[in-house]
Amino acid sequence: MQLKSIFFVGFIIFFNAPAESISQVATLEAEPSTVSLKVNRADEPFAETFSFDRAIQFMDTTSQDWQDHRKCITCHTNGLYLVGQAMLRHPSPTLELSREFSRSYLDDSAVQESETNGKSGAIEGLVATAAMLSISEQLSGDKLHPSTIKGLNYVLTNQDPTGGWNKWAKCDWPPFEHDDHFGVSLMAVALGMAGKDYDASPEAQLGMQRIEQYLNENPPTNAHQKGMLLWGARYNDSLLTEKQKTEWTDELLALQRDDGGWSLLSLGDESWKRAGNGQPQDSQSDAYGTGFAIFMLRQAGLEATDPQLVRGIEWLKSNQRASGRWFVRSLKIRDTPSKHYISHAGTTFALMALIECGDSHTEASPPVDLH
């Protein structure tokens, strides 16, 4: 399958696309009313009871819908979904469809070096796809697919000698499209996890060497960047020292709010401002900050029984919405309201945190009605 799709990591045109282009509506029989998946709304009712299954159903449905209607993969929706769903380690038809779509994109845009169309073939999309697909396959215990290997080779061949990708989109849309750091640290995770079928390849060896050089010359400046490296260091202990690991773990723990959660804004620095009026984003606890912090702290070796993580998990279970998602405000507010697609990434990180802390049991949940 050849895809002439527009692929970037949550870039501007997706946020300007009409909400009507997402057609599915979830009818949740356990809730008193029908909840739309079209719009991530701050006023969506909270779930009467926490449901892990409903969160999975939301991400399955939303990721498939995004893929079908937007013809792309983004970090904030079906890209990170590749990682989160794979952590469940059980067969998922939706996950396999997303993997097939991702491999086809890499084959079309990277391997065949098709002519770019808009932002199709943009380097940030290729790096994110190859890295997240690689992480997804390895989490499932699979060997890297040939298309995944070719995609990794392509982006590493196009890596800057300094270790980053200087054409990475930077449109003041943290945490993904704000600086070069996210792509570098994400690839560090993928290469660190790579098994013997890939990590000894010349491309992987040079790629990791350049990543380590980049990180030495561009050390992390905020908690999000440090959290990503705690993840990478789980698979490559040369990425940071034990002193850094301890300091960054303590830093993440210190950002926990009184209600038990973390906020996305607190993970950034002064540059993480709301666009449009230049005011800081609301700093209330949200699922992205909470899920991200818990997941990264678990990668750093913190026990799931740690009191602060237990409180964070309690916050997640108490703040799920009726659709199964967790609402997260976008840090990018333009003249028109954002679609708050960061809610999708927040929901996936919430799931990843729950899985890491052993709270991924499933229950009999009502089916999602796509009609």
Q: What is the DSSP string of 67-100?
A: HHHH-S--IIIIIHHHHHHHTT-S--HHHHHHHH
pLDDT value of residue 117:
41
CA dist 228 to 86, 161, 187, 259, Å? 18, 21, 10, 24
Tell me the residue length of the chain.
371
**Measured between alpha carbons, how far is 321 from 62 in angstroms, rounded to an integer?**
15
Cα torsion through 120, 126, 128, 129, rounded to 10: 90
Domains in the chain, ordered, with CATH? 12-356 (1.50.10.10)
**262 phi, psi to nearest 5 deg:** -125, 160
- What is the tens place of the pLDDT at every residue in 250-300? 999 999 999 999 999 899 988 776 544 455 556 789 999 999 999 999 999
pTM of the full structure? 0.84
Q: What is the mean pLDDT of the chain?
A: 80
Is there a contact between 9 and 74 (Cβ–Cβ < 8 Å)? yes
- What is the tens place of the pLDDT at every residue in 100-145? 989 988 888 765 554 444 454 578 888 999 999 999 999 998 889 9
pLDDT value of residue 177:
72
Position 17 confidence tier, pLDDT thresholds 50, 70, 90: very low
Sign, CA torsion 50/51/56/60: negative
pLDDT value of residue 364:
34
* Alpha helices (H) in 164-286, listed in sequence order: 181-193, 202-217, 223-233, 242-254
What's the rounded mean pLDDT across residues 186-210? 93
**346 phi, psi to nearest 5 deg:** -65, -40
